[in-house]
DNA sequence: CGCTGGCATATGTCGAACATTTCGACAAGG
DNA sequence: CCTTGTCGAAATGTTCGACATATGCCAGCG
């Protein structure tokens, strides 16, 4: 017999549990999380395991360990939101503050048309397959239940669609950036109950984007991506303080 | 008396030492790094400390730990190059393969004009101070020795200049992205022995960019940033396979 | 021939002890 | 009264040794 009371579960992840509490506001920037010994007691783990998990939070820039004093939650701007694990937690446990989400959204509105453009230039047959599969998933989901059964399936396909386009750029930076955009994509989808706007219309915009990439027409892809973003954003009555459509619109019109 | 033979040095960082060997090619993707026990012996550390440091490499996506088998170096595309620590190592120990550096450079050429544009819209007085201080550092360095004494000082100011512009966007994503561009900036500066082109001319381009941001003229900042990048790139006879100047040039001309 | 069981190896976890750093309290001294 | 030095409590950092678990290999057996 082990000393652990529950031999079934693999191991409780202290990092995840703590991250959940931090993200939900139980511990805020400046606060100190419980001592290592207390965490050991809470999760029935050894200090080694606890410290190992805590290390992950340190690497993510979420907490700062002060020798002999404790572990302090760092300020939001210091969090490494470009870390895939951090954005994973973001998708699960809401954003720490809405401001971050809005900034990520603004970033998307700025760059995604470019990404679509680059994808149209570099996409291979393999990339197109991935894009098309995601698109078909979105379509079938809509066909099945007119809307979507639980929101999960459709959002998964939607995310896969956008991520596939990022990967089609064949640029490692863009590809990895797709991870951090997942919380934003998910937020948009969940907030704007897709049925709010016309689902078929949204699907048609996505199709147009896909076809532009397939036909290798960068400028069409650029505009199609703008349309997709604008459609989604307006569907939930969302407005970005400034640069509503990124710099692109301005550039296109002024010149 | 301690059990350690060298009480002077703080502690050897296994993660850093291993990263150096991995980045320099001693261990390549697919290879297995030495066992934990061997690493303990090599660095005269305990397994706990070694494992703690190894955890950092895992979080960075550089190695993958297979229980009961060993720690394997992951493929380059799986490395989390958006991690600040990874790019820090990149700047110190050259890139694992030139392809990654070129992709990062391509990314810069694509987005930096945008960043400059956004900075011109959102920069505060505080941001302008940071930009100006970096610029003055570049200038004084050139004035002092006509070129630069060791390349370190000038490159530091150059990096600070670009980073300050990223931060001036007041967008957390752009701000954090500035970290990953540091290796690229450093590479450009070091490769293109600044004296190769006209230093004064390069400085003038930077000044133009700074002034455009100060005057809050986004479109001028956009073009000034393009000029800076083009100047640096052409100075070292560097050519990017496609999209030499990003999508921007194409957009500006066609429309 | 294929499956299965055990064995070796290396990582994963555990527990206790000691070292080091930090902060705060308290007393001596200016 | 304020400053300063020292001590001690508290928490993190490090070390050691042992056991648990997962993986791969190979021999033995049906």
Q: What pLDDT was estimated at residue B2?
A: 34
- Angstroms from A98 CA to nearest CA on chain B: 13
pLDDT band at A251 (very low <50, low <70, confident <90, very high): very low
Choice among A9-18, A96-105, B26-35, B128-137 with the minimum mean pLDDT: A96-105
The 8-class DSSP code of residue B79 comes to S
Cβ contact B2 with chain C strand, < 7 A: yes
pLDDT band at B239 (very low <50, low <70, confident <90, very high): low
- Angstroms from B56 CA to nearest CA on chain A: 7
**Structure-token pair, residue B96:** 């694992």
- Across the range B135-142, mean pLDDT stands at 78
Q: What pLDDT was estimated at residue A54?
A: 95
- Angstroms from A146 CA to nearest CA on chain B: 36
- The 10s digit of each residue's pLDDT in B205-229 is 999 999 999 999 999 999 999 999 8
**Is it the case that residue A15 has pLDDT exceeding 70?**
yes
Could you give the residue range(s) of every CATH 1.10.10.10 domain in chain B? 14-78
- Across the range A51-68, mean pLDDT stands at 94
Q: What pLDDT was estimated at residue B48?
A: 93
Cβ contact A68 with chain D strand, < 7 A: yes
Tell me if A82 and B173 make a contact (CB, 8 A cut-off).
yes
Nucleotide in closest CA–C1' contact with B69: C10
Q: Which residues of A touch B103 (CB under 8 A)?
A: 171-173
CB B205 within 8 A of CB B233: no
Q: What pLDDT was estimated at residue A154?
A: 79
pLDDT band at A4 (very low <50, low <70, confident <90, very high): very low
Q: Which positions in strand D are less than 7 Å from the protein's CB atoms? A: 9-18, 20-24
Q: What pLDDT was estimated at residue B181?
A: 83
Q: What pLDDT was estimated at residue A8?
A: 41
CA of A77: how far to CAs of A16, A24, A203, B170, in Å?
20, 17, 36, 10
Tell me if B172 and A114 make a contact (CB, 8 A cut-off).
no
Give, in Å, how far the C1' of D28 lies from the CA of B67: 27
Give, in Å, how far the C1' of C26 lies from the CA of A68: 21
Cβ contact A35 with chain D strand, < 7 A: yes
Q: What pLDDT was estimated at residue A186?
A: 78
- Across the range B22-41, mean pLDDT stands at 93
Nearest to A82 among B51, B82, B255 (CB): B82
What is the pLDDT of chain A when averaged over all its residues?
82
**Structure-token pair, residue B197:** 């082109």
Tell me if A104 and B173 make a contact (CB, 8 A cut-off).
yes
* Burial readout A163-179 (b: 16 or more C-beta within 10 A, e: otherwise): bbbbbbbbbbbbbbbbb
Query: Considering only residues 25-64 of protein chain B, which place a Cβ less than 7 A from any atom of strand D?
Result: 44-49, 52
Give, in Å, how far the C1' of D27 lies from the CA of B72: 29
Nearest to B171 among A106, A122, A218 (CB): A106
Number of A:B CB contacts under 8 A?
A: 118
pLDDT band at A92 (very low <50, low <70, confident <90, very high): confident
Cβ contact B124 with chain C strand, < 7 A: no
| pLDDT higher at A213 or B96 | A213
Nucleotide in closest CA–C1' contact with B67: C11
**Is it the case that residue B64 has pLDDT exceeding 50?**
yes
Highest CATH level, class, for B14-78: mainly alpha
Look at residues B189, B82, B188 and name the one whose alpha carbon lies nearest to residue B138. B189
pLDDT band at A152 (very low <50, low <70, confident <90, very high): low
Q: What pLDDT was estimated at residue B63?
A: 96
CB A165 within 8 A of CB A116: yes
- The 10s digit of each residue's pLDDT in B161-203 is 999 999 999 999 999 999 888 888 777 776 665 555 677 888 9
**Is it the case that residue B248 has pLDDT exceeding 70?**
no
Cβ contact B9 with chain C strand, < 7 A: no
Q: What pLDDT was estimated at residue A183?
A: 81
Cβ contact B66 with chain D strand, < 7 A: yes
pLDDT band at B156 (very low <50, low <70, confident <90, very high): confident
Give, in Å, how far the C1' of C14 lies from the CA of A83: 30
Q: Which residues of A touch B223 (CB under 8 A)?
A: none
**Is it the case that residue A238 has pLDDT exceeding 60?**
no
Could you give the residue range(s) of every CATH 1.20.120.530 domain in chain A? 97-254
Choice among A25-34, A177-186, B52-61, B145-154 with the minimum mean pLDDT: B145-154
Contacts of B194 (CB under 8 A, 6+ apart): B147, B148, B151, B154, B202, B235
Q: What pLDDT was estimated at residue B236?
A: 55
| pLDDT higher at B5 or A164 | A164
Pick the CATH number of B97-254 from 2.115.10.20, 1.20.58.190, 1.20.1250.20, 1.20.120.530: 1.20.120.530
**Is it the case that residue A101 has pLDDT exceeding 60?**
yes
| pLDDT higher at B151 or A65 | A65
B177 CB-side CA count, 13 A: 23
Q: What pLDDT was estimated at residue B100?
A: 81
Nearest residue, CA→C1' of D23: B68
In chain B, the residue whose alpha carbon lies closest to the alpha carbon of A171 is: B103
- Angstroms from A229 CA to nearest CA on chain B: 18
Tell me if B55 and A56 make a contact (CB, 8 A cut-off).
yes
Nearest to A171 among B59, B107, B118 (CB): B107
**Structure-token pair, residue B82:** 């958006």
**Is it the case that residue B152 has pLDDT exceeding 70?**
no
Contacts of A238 (CB under 8 A, 6+ apart): A105, A188, A191, A192
Q: Which residues of B touch A251 (CB under 8 A)?
A: 219, 222, 248, 251-252, 255
């Amino acid at each position: 017999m082990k000393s652990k009371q529950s031999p079934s579960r693999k191991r409780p992840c202290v990092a995840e549990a703590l991250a959940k509490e931090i993200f939900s506001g139980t511990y805020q920037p400046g606060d100190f999380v419980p001592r290592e010994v207390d965490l050991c007691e809470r999760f029935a783990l050894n200090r080694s395991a606890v410290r190992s998990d805590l290390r992950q939070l340190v690497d993510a820039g979420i907490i700062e360990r002060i020798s002999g004093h404790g572990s302090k939650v760092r300020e939001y701007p210091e969090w490494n939101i470009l870390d895939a694990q951090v954005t994973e937690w973001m998708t699960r446990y809401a954003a720490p503050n809405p401001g971050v989400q809005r900034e990520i959204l603004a970033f998307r509105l700025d760059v995604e048309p470019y990404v679509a453009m680059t994808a149209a230039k570099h996409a291979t047959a393999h990339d197109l397959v991935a894009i098309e599969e995601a698109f078909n998933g979105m379509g079938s989901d809509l066909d099945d239940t007119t809307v979507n059964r639980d929101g999960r399936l459709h959002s998964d396909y939607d995310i896969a669609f956008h991520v596939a386009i990022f990967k089609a750029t064949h640029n490692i930076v863009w590809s990895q950036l797709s991870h951090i955009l997942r919380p934003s994509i998910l937020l948009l989808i969940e907030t704007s109950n897709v049925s709010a706007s016309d689902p078929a219309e949204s699907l048609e915009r996505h199709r147009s984007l896909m076809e532009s990439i397939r036909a290798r027409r960068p400028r069409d892809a650029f505009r199609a991506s703008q349309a997709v973003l604008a459609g989604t954003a307006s569907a939930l009555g969302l407005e970005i303080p400034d640069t509503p459509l990124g710099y692109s619109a301005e550039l296109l019109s002024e010149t």
